[in-house]
Amino acid sequence: MGCRGAIVVAEARSADETVLTRRCVIMKVQDFTTEKYFEAQRQNAAAILILLPKNISNIPHETIQSFMVSESETLLKETLLPVYVAPEDEQLLYMYDEVKQAAATRTLSIFIRAFQILVNNNAPIKAISDNSIVTLEGVLPGAGEDLPTIVVTAHYDSYGLAPWLSYGADSNGSGVTVLLELARLFQKLYSSPRTRPPYHLMFSLTGGGKYNFLGTKRWIEENLDHAESSLLHDNVAFVLCLDTLANGDELHMHVSRPPKPETPMHHFIQHLEEVVASRFPWVKTSLVHKKINLVESTVAWEHERYSLRRIPGFTLSHLDDPKSELRGSILDTM
């Protein structure tokens, strides 16, 4: 993040220091706040190094939540300040403890430690311009002719302060996992003529979900505008989008417009509420209605890409707020 050059050479300093100019500020997850980040930026610090613990489950939930909020606020603003994230090891922790102790005892005039952060390439880092977005799809054909189609979809991207360390276990590894399990279960039903339902079932794993669902947008365009024959051309009962489903006891159904009574989508939501109430009474369910703002350049949920093309759909998530910091954090792990 913010890194243009290949080498940073600077003295190590704790975030507790008052003078950070041309220093590399070392922080643990529990130290990192929006205020400290902007203060380092204001003082023209040389770089920020955040130490990522090997076992995030040992960190209190409140600390993780606080870091995620600061992380999301940090990502909203452009900067030339290099921000590095590195897994903790013995040497880094030793250095962190020393600069922390030096800050507490004000012995920096005696103790100075210099270190280097090296990036493999000495040339300026260029933006990736030839990245391709891959969509994976599969279909279970129903029994009969001219059948409606149900689409089950999830995006497979992750996002965070350090993209290569963003695993996205909940957002959206959970959605991908649920989709694959649904495909496995329904394949058993569709394999026998006696249990094959009168619906085509299409599964779609899309890329670019963290970037305004561009993979979904392109996939819809290819199926509607460029393909001569596609299941999206015909009767689509509804599109079920799976997004961030693992880490909570709530289940929110996000819609662009409330489903009309007696429609397939309305029946599905009713059945889902009944099953949750009877078998999982501790789970809170709700229908969240949010109109699409055509003035905004981004969409909040994947189903909005379908709604813009007048295809009925909704998103299932344990999050009620699409701007939740959990949807883009390096701490979204198992």
Same domain, 147 and 74: no
279 in any annotated domain:
yes
pLDDT at 181 over 90: yes
130 in any annotated domain:
no
Same domain, 96 and 145: no
Q: Which residues contact 227 (CB under 8 A, 6 or more apart)?
A: 233
- Name the pLDDT band for 119 (thresholds 50, 70, 90): very low
pLDDT at 110 over 50: no
Same domain, 142 and 241: yes
pTM of the model: 0.88
Residue 13: strand pairing partners: 25
Average pLDDT over residues 284-311: 94
Same domain, 90 and 153: no
Same domain, 280 and 151: yes
Same domain, 74 and 149: no
185 in any annotated domain:
yes
Q: Which of 72, 88, 118 is the last residue of a domain?
A: 118
269 in any annotated domain:
yes
Residue 101 pLDDT: 86
172 in any annotated domain:
yes
123 in any annotated domain:
no
Q: Which of 118, 151, 169 is the last residue of a domain?
A: 118
* Amino acid of residue 5: G
Say which CATH number the domain at 225 has. Answer: 3.40.630.10
Domains: count for the chain: 2
First to last CA, the chain: 24
Please, how many CA atoms are within 13 Å of residue 273, restricted to the half-sphere of its CB? 11
Residue 239 pLDDT: 97
What is the CA 86 to chain-centroid distance, rounded? 20
Residue 113 pLDDT: 52
Average pLDDT over residues 33-57: 91
Domain ranges, residue 311: 136-327
Q: Which of 118, 149, 169 is the last residue of a domain?
A: 118
Q: Give 121-133 pLDDT, tens digit per residue.
A: 556 666 677 778 8
Same domain, 27 and 176: no
Same domain, 217 and 91: no
Q: What are phi and psi of 204, to 5 degrees?
A: -140, 125
Same domain, 195 and 310: yes
Same domain, 236 and 187: yes
Burial 259-270 (b: 16+ CB within 10 A, else e): beeeebbeebbe
258 in any annotated domain:
yes
Residue 28: strand pairing partners: 51
Percent of the chain with pLDDT over 90: 66
149 in any annotated domain:
yes
Same domain, 185 and 297: yes
More confident residue, 148 or 7: 148
pLDDT at 84 over 80: yes
Same domain, 176 and 250: yes
Residue 80 pLDDT: 84
